[in-house]
Structure 1
């Protein structure tokens, strides 16, 4: 074969090799780009999953120890509340002693102080009383199609009984043994009622000192109480009225300081 023929053959072979190498590089480049796209897609999907999970879990502590922490917190705060109540009682006793010492030189002032303390519920009261006990329906009543809200004592039930006892001329009142004063609030939190910052579970006992006949008459004539007693008959909620010839209610032991909201002046 002539030299020119070899040259042409070699050039053809070289072109074939170059085309093959170029095609190989393009395929490799395509594979690299595809791999990069696949990696990016995986990262995007992973990110979306994380965002969705965080959105659904927002406000929910996924740690199993959370409930235990809340129980410990409630126990700690209840213990602190007991300590503070005892401290208030001690300080109030000191104030009473000082007031009595000052009152020995001014009987009019001492008499006025005693009268005002009785009116606001700071001193013990003794007399005949009426107690209303409200309880949830027994668990056996609950069944298919029964609204669970109809089977428990609600905040408004306790408030209605208290209001009717005041209307009947109650001189003093306690709920769960705590003295009720002008600023007392009855709040329902879950399946408990909070009174002066202390949670109570049923049964709920509302007691009032006064004329038992007038107190009972007020309860019997109240429309809301009549409706409540219909639920007593239908769902076995508890409603019991007892009379005591002589009861002593303790004075209110908490703080009587009032706090008011104030306007916030934003800086200009």
Structure 2
């Protein structure tokens, strides 16, 4: 009599039990022995809800701070009117303060250090200070131009305003934080004849011209029908100032 075939469950049941055991062991390792689906475990929806509540609180706090700032600076009609008046007055005075570019007839004066002669030598009786342009020489030219009614002055590529102070550091010039080497070019808009007359009668400029003749310093005057003076960059900062009178608002 033929032997009956073995049932496949004879081998399938042990395999299923082995896989179940491996799954239980893996779950126990991952969970660290604790329950995976704990009732007190935070849910993703709860985390999102808490984060949204925090954002809403911060947004409300920001709105309160914005309202507080507005109430102190321009939030009320009176503050807005005062701010508009200040801005309008600043715009009206910007040209007089030298903040806008200008062009027109004027005079260009150039100062330069002494140059060597054809044989490459300086005058034998000259000291080092006799051969370079000094701060007082530049100030003398600028003051003469202002005294003659110059409407605007530019030195090198910068506008000269009330807070500008050219300073000599060695044989270089420091102006508004930038350094320049000679020649020093000063461009002024205004009556060229009046400025030339003021330069001719300035004692300090006259002294400089003596050094021009004796030691070979450079000095030129050039009239122009259309000089251009650059605008002063924004953000003029006053280090020392006080009100000149009531503001009128």
TM-score (normalised: structure 2):
0.58
Deviation digits for residues 58-99 of structure 1 (CA, Å, limit 9, x no counterpart): xxxxxxxxxxxxxxxxxxxxxxxxxxxxxxxxxxxxxxxxxx
* TM alignment of 1:6-21, pairs within 5 A: none
Matched, 1:121 2:98: yes
Deviation of 1:255 (Å): 3.3
Local SS of the residue matching 1:257: coil
Deviation of 1:111 (Å): 7.0
Local SS of the residue matching 2:105: strand
Aligned-residue RMSD, C-alpha: 2.2
**Which has the larger Rg?**
2
Matched, 1:182 2:162: yes
Q: Distance in 2 between matches of 1:109 and 1:199?
A: 34
Partner of 1:215: 195
Q: Point out the structure with the larger helix share.
A: 1
Matched, 1:136 2:113: yes
Local SS of the residue matching 2:149: coil
Local SS of the residue matching 2:185: strand
What stretches of structure 1 of length at least 5 have no aligned partner? 1-105, 262-268
TM-score (normalised: structure 1):
0.54
Q: Distance in 1 between matches of 2:182 and 2:234?
A: 22
Change (3 A) 1:128 1:143: closer
Could you tell me which of 162, 165, 187 is aligned with 2:145? 165
Deviation of 1:248 (Å): 2.1
Partner of 1:231: 211
Matched, 1:251 2:231: yes
Q: Distance in 2 between matches of 1:169 and 1:111?
A: 26
